[in-house]
Structure 1
Amino acid sequence: MSYDAIILGAGGAGLLAAATAGQAGARILVVDHASEAGRKILISGGGRCNFTNLGVEARCFLSENPHFVKSALKRYTQWDFLALVEAHGIAWHEKTLGQLFCDGSARQIVDMLLAECRRGGVEIRLSTPIGEIGHADGRFTVGRDTAPNLVIATGGPSIPKMGATGRAYAIAEQFGLKVVTPRPALVPFTLGGEERMFKEISGIACPVVARARGAAFEEAALFTHKGLSGPAILQISSYWSPGETISLTVLADASDHLRAAKRRMPRAHLKAALAERLPNRLAEALTARIGIDAELGALPDKALDAAAETLTRLTFRPTGTEGYAKAEVTAGGIDTAELSSKTMEARKLPGLYAIGEAVDVTGWLGGYNFQWAWSSGVAAGRAIGAADGKRRPADA
């Protein structure tokens, strides 16, 4: 069969790209080896899909070229996607930090995208291995199908149990596009050595400020039997590199609090003072980490300030992360230097596009990566639709 574009991947980016191009008049085929479309959408946000964020800005994305995202995000914004959600009658609500979720189910977002694809006459083939891909005489071949345009929308290798692979990178390299080394992002840390003492407080969470490489996120951290997790940890993991340290502020006003506690209850020990503000088991673990076992009244203020320094900059050197199996997304990917920021088309090979997680663009936790999927997908879909519109009069 002959199409105007073949889109590899029936995830969020691929489906919206297909719908956009199809509704502009292009003949579109979407191919995916999975048995159902939008599998990552279905499990996201606890089953309610954190589909975008009210605070989307370019600074909320990591890439070797931090300016690359600006064009696509400006041309298809979070407000544009929200308008589409509302047009389909999907009820939504805002959680913390501008995160938007469906009131009902994430399946509503998948159904919406599939409905948009039907409006555009898009053909979707599921449970279909992609197989070999070729290119000759200005046309791409995927199996027995051909098209002048090919869109890489197969995502990254995060969450392999959902069928995720690194196929996008192999396709890119087949056609001469560079790939920034992929790595797990928005992922829990593992700890070892003496830091495993925090294994004893597995399941304890508390608000923190997590820091690494000049980045800082103020959200919750969760101590686990393997190491550290929770929103603040997932956020900072995208900025971390193996061998580096991270720091947590667990009590921002620790110095003032400890000095006040010394005046109020001089016979109490450090653990009692910390337990006023922190979970009891965490207070116990931090007291052991600080190594002070004396009445507060017997401690000089310098000792209290030293303890406070630990509480405001609790430092860890992770042994690693929990890998792609637990990573929300993949950092790295197809080098943005290879792509047009306006259309997502490859500079070296007209007709080849890359969108979504396959590209070296990684958003913060909280709906940002979905917005990149929508914005980059629409950018490619519009470009394909516009090119098809130019061809149709001549074809006719």
Structure 2
Amino acid sequence: MTVTTPENREFDVVIIGAGAAGLMCAAVAGARGRRVLLLDSANKVGKKILMSGGGRCNFTNMHSTSDNFISANPHFAKSALSRYTPWDFIALVEKHGVPYHEKKLGQLFCDRSSKDIVRLLLDECDAMGVQVLTHSPASNIQLGAPLSQAASRSPHRLQTPRFSVSCESLVIASGGYSIPTLGSTGFGFDFARSLGIPVLPTRAGLVPVTLEPKQLRKLQGLAGVSVDTVTAASGAAFRENILFTHKGLSGPAILQASSYWQPGEALEIDLFPGLDLAEHIHTMQHQRPKLELKNLLGEQLTKRVAQRWCDLWLESKPLEQLGKDDIQRVVSACKPWKVWPAGTEGYRTAEVTLGGVDTNALSSKTMEARNHPGLYFIGEVVDVTGHLGGHNFQWAWASGQAAGERA
């Protein structure tokens, strides 16, 4: 239910941010009979949901566990994730008759459109009497006095562009810095800092990497080509495709590794995952001795990549002419291919923000701030970041559920 002016400006719960976590929290709190107001500064709710998954929304992952998340405290997310599983959200999707399919690796997408997920969440909110206001940034937030300072805790107060609001519980679900064109500002980080709540350093995650001009020139003409790899950074490795771009490298494997990569480090890209390349060449020398090296490599790397590798680092000649040193050069150029990124494309194209509100300041069961009763942080604003493939949405649902059950 989207309204222009609330019928009542005194609420039990006010949620700032109508993204995935905020919408989920609003529906759950509303189901408890709480009077809920959901505020968003954008012109419509769920913008990140709408653009996700190429417009199909990878809304969860069937295999999602706490192992699929990055946090300074790897145990923090376990409580919420165990109490609201992918199967719980799948049940909600099926309840609303939203058709979906598994793409790969447990990744679930809408058959039709991401709009189905936004509609599902809005319908849940509407059924629970949640009032939703867009074009409504919150300002002048004043937290109520805790019990130690008053006979009963006074309400939180805040200002919208049109009126003042009071509430018993305030939930910050405003997201991070990623994709600022959708309206992300880092509001939640600034608000937490203003209260003395620690915010861990933030950076772009699940983001393409850029290469220096000299390296780009070596790879010129390969933009748009995708190859299967195992890509590793800081000890984390992912079996997925990489994609050559005009600026550097992207694709699922690069996005995954980017969340672990640190400036100055190399990405190690195994271009022949699961294959003993030296042994494979030896075998082919006997079976297909006249085959050119570039054609053998091209069976895995595509003809364009194989040709470029031979032009840059190898010499393409019949396999029967390759000696031990030649084979070692081939292996060294491919297993792994080491790349030193110049940086990343930053928050402009990042799917998530790494870092955020320190989990040590929050209850893992309820998402409530330990030193600020009635204040909650959920979703991307918290220092919990998922891998690619629906895990970040699962954190939104789980953390929203956790706060909604208490706020």
TM-score by length of 1: 0.94
Residue by residue over 1:12-55, the C-alpha shift from the partner in whole angstroms, topping out at 9 and shown as x without a partner, is: 10011011011101111111111111011011111111100000
Aligned to 1:237: 258
Distance of 1:41 and 1:170 partners within structure 2: 24
Correspondence list, 1:196-275, <5 A? 196=216, 197-252=218-273, 253=275, 254-275=277-298
Is the partner of 2:207 in helix, strand or coil?
Answer: coil
Aligned to 2:35: 27
Distance of 1:73 and 1:129 partners within structure 2: 29
Letter in 2 for 1:155: G
Aligned to 1:69: 77
Which range moves more in the overlay, 186-195 or 109-118? Answer: 186-195
Is the partner of 2:307 in helix, strand or coil?
Answer: helix
Q: How far off its partner does 1:293 sit?
A: 4.9
- 8 Å CA contact 1:199–1:223 kept in 2: the answer is no
Q: How far off its partner does 1:131 sit?
A: 2.1
Distance of 1:281 and 1:14 partners within structure 2: 46
Is the partner of 2:278 in helix, strand or coil?
Answer: helix
Aligned to 1:390: none
Query: Percent identity among equivalent residues?
Result: 48
Structure 1: segments with no counterpart, 5+ residues: 385-396
Q: How far off its partner does 1:268 sit?
A: 4.7
- 8 Å CA contact 2:292–2:319 kept in 1: the answer is yes
Which range moves more in the overlay, 307-316 or 189-198? Answer: 189-198
Select the structure that is richer in helix: 1
Which range moves more in the overlay, 277-286 or 48-57? Answer: 277-286
Which range moves more in the overlay, 87-96 or 261-270? Answer: 261-270
- 8 Å CA contact 1:208–1:251 kept in 2: the answer is yes
Structure 2: segments with no counterpart, 5+ residues: 1-8, 146-153
Which range moves more in the overlay, 281-290 or 223-232? Answer: 281-290
Correspondence list, 1:356-367, <5 A? 356-367=379-390
Distance of 1:136 and 1:340 partners within structure 2: 19
Q: Give the paired residue count.
A: 384
- 8 Å CA contact 1:212–1:247 kept in 2: the answer is yes
Q: Does 1:9 align with 2:17?
A: yes
Q: Does 1:82 align with 2:103?
A: no
Aligned to 1:189: 209
Letter in 1 for 2:263: P
Correspondence list, 1:288-327, <5 A? 288-327=311-350
| Counterpart pick for 1:155 among 175, 180, 196 | 175
Correspondence list, 1:94-133, <5 A? 94-133=102-141
Letter in 2 for 1:85: V
Q: Does 1:53 align with 2:49?
A: no
Is the partner of 2:197 in helix, strand or coil?
Answer: coil
Is the partner of 1:350 in helix, strand or coil?
Answer: coil
Distance of 2:19 and 2:299 partners within structure 1: 47
TM-score by length of 2: 0.91
Which range moves more in the overlay, 149-158 or 130-139? Answer: 130-139
Distance of 1:354 and 1:271 partners within structure 2: 54
CA RMSD of aligned residues (A): 1.4
Distance of 2:237 and 2:311 partners within structure 1: 26
- 8 Å CA contact 1:199–1:227 kept in 2: the answer is no
Is the partner of 2:79 in helix, strand or coil?
Answer: helix
